[in-house]
Each structure stands twice: as C-alpha cells, then as structure tokens.
A and B are shown apart, each in its own frame.
Chain A
Amino acid sequence: MITRRSFIKSVLLFASTIFTGVSIPGCLRYPQKSTKLLFFSHQEYFIMRKIASRMLPLNPSPDELGVADSIDKFLISADKNIQSQFRQLLAVFECGTFIFNLKLRPFSQLPAQEQDKYMNSWAASRIGFKRQGFMALKKFCMSNYYMNDQTWNEIEYKGPWHGRKS
C-alpha cells in the first residue's frame, strides 16, 4: 500500500534523480554566475531566478534587485534542516514538470505562460507538500522583493517614519 510518506519519498527520489540528470553538463544548459554564490549551485540559482521572475512584478525586476542573491545569503546562515529542505524543494519544483504534468522540459525551460500555469497547479494542489513548497517559495520571493525600498515607489508606499517622504 502506498502511504503519504512513501509517496513523498518516491517523488523526492525521482525528482532528485532527474535533477541530477538534467544537471549533467551538456544535458541542459544552466548559465554560470560570474560572482560567487554562498549557498546555491549555479543550477539552483538559475531556477530561483526563474521562480522569482514569475512570482514578482517586472518593474523593478527581481534580477535588478538581486532577489535570488538575497535568498542565497539568507539560506547560507539558515539551519541545516531548512537548507536541505530548500534544496529538495528546488529539485522537485524544477523537475516536477516531468512527474506531475508530463512535460518534457523542466520548469526553468518552460515558456512563461506554462510556468505560471505550473506554479498555479502547485498553489492550488490537493497534495499538501506542493502547497507547502509554493508557500515557501512565495514567502522568500515576496519578502526579499518588497522589503527593498526600490520597490516602494511602485506601490506608492511613503516608507517608514524614519525617512518617510511626506
């Protein structure tokens, strides 16, 4: 009998295998970042940037504000459990397209519209760990974007009391 735990384990294992597969040089191209990453691998960093680009507005862009870099900085000092869970999450999210949606490409290689659809399927999923994964990715993206004062003009926020524009 397939229990919830064994199902999740199978999905994680399968996704990790695919993730390892797609990470082999020449299999799929994940661009290298020129500056040093603290926590993410180049693949993970690229996936995170793609996720942020669908979660967040275009102006200013998450790349301009370094959203993925901020998450990288946060995670390097997070506890080991959170670190390993986040790595697993990125692997499953990237390769879940093969498992859950029978697509032939991972999330980061899908067209934008397909990426949104896929993300929505996680947000509204009946499977608890997909909703949990969506929430985690969303919180990281939203907080690291909107805490940055360069986004405040766009929402017409005048800033906190100290330095508030009248």
Chain B
Amino acid sequence: MRLSTKGHGMEEKADICVIGSGAGGAVAAKELSERGYKVILLEEGGYYTSKDFNQREDRMYPLLYKDRLAQLTKDGAIAVMQGRCVGGTTVINNAICFRPPEEVLDIWRRDFGVKGLSYDELVPVFEQVEKVINVYQHPLEDLNEHQRLLYEGSRAFGYRGAPFMRNVKDCVKCGCCMVGCSFDRKQSMILNYIPMALKYGTRLMPNAKADRILVKDGKAIGVECSMNGKKFRIDSKAVVLAAGAINSPQLLLKSKIANSSGEVGKNLYFHPLTPVVAVFDKELKGYYGITQSYGVNHFSKMPDGGFGYRIEGVFAMPGLAAMVLPSFGKVHWNIMSGYNYMAACFVLVHDEGTGQVTVGSDGRPVIEYSVSEKDKRKMIHGMKEAARIYLKAGARKVYTTHNEIVEIRGENDLDLIDKRGIEPNSLTLISAHPQGTCRMGEDPKKSVVNSRGESHDIRNLFICDASVHPTSVGVNPQVTIMAISTHISSFIKV
C-alpha cells in the first residue's frame, strides 16, 4: 500500500494529481493508475477505517463530516451534509444507488450539448461501477418495521415505490450507516476503488488540503497544498479536480482560473429535503435495521409534467433526530420521548431552482441557496403526502419539522402545512446532494468543462465530481458521479 501521511518534501511529482477522494476522485485515481499513470490522490480529511468507526455521533460527526456536521448555507437555513475523510461522502451516506433517470441525461444532451453521456452509452459504465461497489437490490423482507409502514401506507393509496438498491455486502442492518460502517459491509470507496488505486500505485495523501491549482501557458501544471500547516507543491502533467460541488468551485475561484464563462460556482443544485416524522402506538425502534431501505417514487413527476420529489424512509440517531424535531423545551421533549415509537422519512425535491458558491474573505466557501417557489410547492405537496401515507398506515400523529409545531392527526390538519409554508429557518432543510457549480456543456460561454470533463479554458484540468452535473439528477447521485468519473477518466491522456 502506498499511503503518504508524513515526510513530504517541498515538491512532489506525479503524472496526475487528483484532488478529493470521494465518489469522483477515488474512481479517477483507480482508473488512471490502472492505466499506468503515476497518481497522487489528495484528501483534505483523515483516513479512517471500520476500526475507527465506533458508532458514536459525538465522535464520528467531527471526524467524518465537513465542518463537523455544521456546514450551512449563508443564511443558516440549509444544513449541507458532506463527508470530509478518505472516501468522502460515500463513507457516511446510506448506500443508496440509482442510475440517473434517462430523461435527465436527455436534458443534458438537448439543453447543454453534452455528448457521450446518453443512458445507452453509459449502461456499460453503470454495470462496471455497480459490479465494483456491489450494488444489491434489497427484497421487501429487509425492511424494518418503520420502513414497512411507509411501504404499506403508500401501497394503500396505490403509490409506486420500491426497496432501495444499495452498495452493501451482507448488511448487518445496524442502522448506523451515517457514522461509517463498522462492519465493512457498506461498500464505500475505502473498500474498493481506493484499495484498487493503491494497488496500482496511487499515492494517497490524507489530511492534505489543495490550496491552489497551478497553471502555466494555459495548462494545469500542479497543485499547491498544505498539510499540518506546512506548504508543499505537487508538479503534475494534469490535475483532476474532484472536491465536490462546494469545494471544486471554491478552489477554482481561489485559483482565479477556468472561469471565462463566469459560470464557476453558479447553478448550484441541492436536492433540498425536509423530514416528516410519525408517531405510532406500537413500539418500532426505528434504529434497528437498515437506515434507509424504501422509497416512494410515485411523485417523481408532477401533474404538470415537471420534476417532482421522492419520499424516502430514514431514521436518525438521537443527536441528529433531536436537532430536526420541531419546537423546544417541553413540546420537543414530548415528541422526543416517543423516539421508540417513531417512523420517519424525508421529502427530497428534484430541484429546478439554483443557488451559488462564492469565496468569502477568509477563503472559505460561501453557499447561497433559496428554495424556489416552484420547489416549495413540491415540498409542501410532499409533506402532505408523507403525512397521509403515515396516517393511512395507522400513525397517531404526524409532525413536520416547523419551529411552530404542525401536528397532524387527520386529513383536516393538512392545511396547517400550507399555512406554515416554507421560509428560511422556519423548518429543517437539509442537502446531502449538492451538484452543479462547474457545469458540463459544449458551449464555453455557458459551461465550465466540456463533455470530456476538461476545462474550456485550461488544458489538462479535468473535473469529475457532482459539480459537472448540468442539472440535478433527482435521485441519490453516487452512481452517477462514479459513472461520469469513469467516463471522463477514459479521456485523460498525458
């Protein structure tokens, strides 16, 4: 294994420097080193394995999450959950795997001129990725009791849905996916692409932060980095940027490169989501079993033909659950004391409105995003449908996460959701899927990279993470990111 954690000289040399070790960067490092290139893989976070994952929120959030789970939009209204460790968000996600909808890829081709990424062209790539990360279709029998209630309630209305496909091997169903898999069953990047990349000679540098991409004569020539306060430089023939939809544009803006279009940092999509919680009379212990195992996709298209939302069953550990539940004091405690009787889901909106990432005076990313009126309508529709589903399944009451409590005991109470509406910081909003910000396209005036992932402005600078998505994909995006990274890597020659 070639793992570098200390003893860097002031200069390192590689054929290709990959920035970020999540779903995009890990795949690129493996693909490129397999082809014989000398690759250095930089990761800002630490390198942790199942031995470090002790299933404790108080220890794991600071260790594995960006800003210790406190990354927020500028107005504080949306929590942006991203991994910050070797393996990136794949270490802390719930392992859900979807191929991108064909219709979304068609829009990328039609509206942005993206070539070579049609669904049919990507099928062999999906198959390759899915094999490496062991995508597995859970049967209905794998649902725990609270997810089964979501299934039963939605079926009673005739709503379409299915158990999730997940990248797991013999999942032990411990319910702790979001704090790293202690049993090496979730097939995150640290169990496949990264070990493969290391086997092919990639040098992994954890705790190494890329500060600036170096450019000479219109060509990427390396990366200026820091580790433990010490600066060093990597000279390379190409740079692959895969720091995610927040940090990739941040690094480009800090480096003052690749932005002749003015589009770097713009077009931020979020898949904004909001939780809905139901309380049942029977004990459910939602923390037993798979954290996320069933989704309702009936509303993925709205009646007007536009994109809609998904309802996905989920259960959070107590610290996170308490942050999300409504109100405070006695009211909050009354709900929280029913933790064992809760079922929960979230409404994930296929967003059409966008935000942006800029760089603050301290060099940190500034994330701005307002949920558009159209997306608000979808989210409200989704909260109501989630409540109806749970009531149908026998819930005693259902709560949204509004500060001003919304307690739904019957259909007549649903109007309360309209009344409360969606205003910043009036309810819990989360994004776990930031995308866009360095969009792909063939028009250099409207996009940052071309269909091969190369910057329109800087030769040998490639981007292969969720930032290149021209629009949001509408489903959990890790397979899309891995497939596009595989695709882009095949074009990189130095």
Contact A161 B362 (CB under 8 A): no
Contact B56 A160 (CB under 8 A): yes
Minimum CB–CB distance from B228 to chain A (whole Å) comes to 15
Name the residue on B nearest A138 (C-beta): B328
Q: Report which B residues bind A (CB closer than 8 A).
A: 54-58, 68-70, 75-77, 172, 174-176, 179, 182, 285, 287, 317-323, 325, 327-329, 332-333, 336-337, 339-340, 360, 362, 364, 403-404, 423-426
Contact B323 A139 (CB under 8 A): yes
Contact B362 A143 (CB under 8 A): no
Indicate whether A60 reaches chain B with its CB closer than 8 angstroms.
no
Query: Do A82 and B70 contact each other (CB < 8 Å), given the known contacts A128-B424, A134-B425, A136-B76?
Result: yes
Contact B403 A146 (CB under 8 A): no
A155–B319 alpha-carbon span in the complex (Å): 12
- Grouping DSSP codes into helix (H, G, I), strand (E, B) and loop, the A interface class, with mixed when no group exceeds half, is helix
A82–B74 alpha-carbon span in the complex (Å): 11
A116–B332 alpha-carbon span in the complex (Å): 12
Contact B328 A123 (CB under 8 A): yes
A41–B179 alpha-carbon span in the complex (Å): 33
Q: How many residues of A contact B (CB 8 A)?
A: 39
Query: Do A155 and B425 contact each other (CB < 8 Å), given the known contacts A145-B322, A161-B174?
Result: no
Kindly specify which of A15-23, A25-33, A73-81, A99-107 makes contact with the partner chain. Answer: A73-81
Query: Do A161 and B329 contact each other (CB < 8 Å), given the known contacts A80-B362, A128-B75, A146-B318?
Result: no
Which single member of A132, A147, A155, A162 contacts B57 (CB below 8 Å)?
A147
Q: Which A residues are CB-close (under 8 A) to B57?
A: 143, 147
A74–B70 alpha-carbon span in the complex (Å): 11
Which single member of A116, A123, A131 contacts B424 (CB below 8 Å)?
A131
Contact A147 B58 (CB under 8 A): yes
Query: Do A155 and B318 contact each other (CB < 8 Å), given the known contacts A148-B58, A161-B176?
Result: yes
Which single member of B176, B322, B336, B425 contacts A143 (CB below 8 Å)?
B322
Which single member of B76, B323, B340 contacts A157 (CB below 8 Å)?
B340
Contact A54 B328 (CB under 8 A): yes
Q: Which A residues are CB-close (under 8 A) to B337?
A: 154-155
A80–B360 alpha-carbon span in the complex (Å): 12
Contact A131 B403 (CB under 8 A): yes
Contact B404 A124 (CB under 8 A): yes
A119–B331 alpha-carbon span in the complex (Å): 13
Q: List 19 A-B contacts (CB under 8 A).
A: A54-B328, A56-B329, A57-B333, A116-B329, A131-B425, A132-B75, A132-B76, A139-B323, A142-B322, A142-B325, A143-B69, A143-B319, A146-B318, A146-B322, A155-B339, A155-B340, A156-B340, A158-B285, A160-B176
Query: Do A161 and B172 contact each other (CB < 8 Å), given the known contacts A123-B404, A134-B425, A154-B337?
Result: yes
Q: Determine which residue in A80, A81, A146, A157 has the highest number of CB atoms from chain B within 10 A of its CB, and name it.
A: A146
Name the residue on B nearest A122 (C-beta): B403
Minimum CB–CB distance from A69 to chain B (whole Å) comes to 13
Q: Which A residues are CB-close (under 8 A) to B58?
A: 147-148
Query: Do A81 and B323 contact each other (CB < 8 Å), given the known contacts A155-B339, A162-B182?
Result: no
The 8 closest A-B pairs by CB, nearest first: A160-B55, A147-B319, A161-B174, A131-B425, A142-B322, A123-B403, A146-B322, A147-B58
Minimum CB–CB distance from B81 to chain A (whole Å) comes to 13
Minimum CB–CB distance from B434 to chain A (whole Å) comes to 19
A131–B58 alpha-carbon span in the complex (Å): 25
A71–B135 alpha-carbon span in the complex (Å): 40
Name the residue on B nearest A162 (C-beta): B55
Name the residue on A nearest B320 (C-beta): A143
A123–B138 alpha-carbon span in the complex (Å): 41
Which single member of A81, A136, A152 contacts B360 (CB below 8 Å)?
A81
Q: Which A residues are CB-close (under 8 A) to B285?
A: 158
